[in-house]
Chains A and B, each alone.
Chain A
Amino acid sequence: MSFINYSSREINCKIVYYGPGLCGKTTNLQYIYSKTNPEAKGKMISLETGTERTLLFDFLPISLGEIRGFKTRFHLFTVPGQVFYDASRKLILKGVDGVVFVADSQVERLDANIESLESLENNLREHGEDLEKIPFVIQYNKRDLPTAVDLSYLEEVFNPRGVQSFEAVAPTGQGVFDTLKAVAKQVLVELKRGDRHRAP
Chain B
Amino acid sequence: MNTQTALFEEDSKRLTELCLKLQQESYAKAVFLLDKDGQLLSSVGEVEEIDTTSLASLTAGNIAATGGLAKLLGEREFPVQVHEGEVESIHISLVGERLILVILFDNRSSLGLIRLKLKHSYPELLQVSHEIFNKPPEEVRSVFSQISDDDIDDFFSFD
Contacts and interface: CB of A to CB of B under 8 A. Distances in A.
Contacts of B143: 4, 6, 11, 67-68, 70
Interface in B1-24: 1-9, 12-13
A198 B144 CA distance: 11
Interface in A91-111: 91-92, 94-95, 97
B107 interface: no
B61 interface: yes
A45 interface: yes
A189 B63 CA distance: 30
Contact of B37 (A14, A133, A194, A199): A14
B61 A91 contact: yes
Interface stretch (A56-64, A140-148, A163-171): A56-64
Contacts of B147: 67-68, 188, 192
Given A7-B9, A191-B4, 19 more contacts: A3-B37, A3-B39, A4-B4, A4-B7, A7-B7, A43-B53, A45-B57, A57-B61, A59-B54, A61-B53, A65-B158, A70-B143, A184-B156, A185-B152, A189-B149, A191-B2, A191-B144, A192-B147, A192-B149
Contacts of B5: 1-4
Interface of A: 1-8, 11-12, 14, 42-43, 45, 47, 56-57, 59, 61, 64-65, 67-68, 70, 72, 75, 87-88, 91-92, 94-95, 97, 128-130, 133-134, 181, 184-185, 188-192, 194-196, 198-200
17 contacts: A4-B142, A5-B12, A6-B143, A42-B54, A43-B53, A56-B65, A59-B57, A61-B57, A65-B155, A68-B146, A68-B147, A94-B36, A95-B36, A95-B37, A184-B156, A188-B152, A195-B4
Interface residues of B, number: 41
B145 A1 contact: no
A75 B5 CA distance: 15
A200 B139 CA distance: 10
Given A1-B5, A11-B143, A196-B145, A64 B155 contact: yes
A96 B144 CA distance: 18
A68 B151 contact: yes
B68 A87 contact: yes
B36 A6 contact: no
A120 to B, nearest CB: 15
Contacts of B37: 1, 3, 14, 94-95
Contacts of A199: 145
Contacts of B3: 1-2, 194
Contacts of B151: 67-68
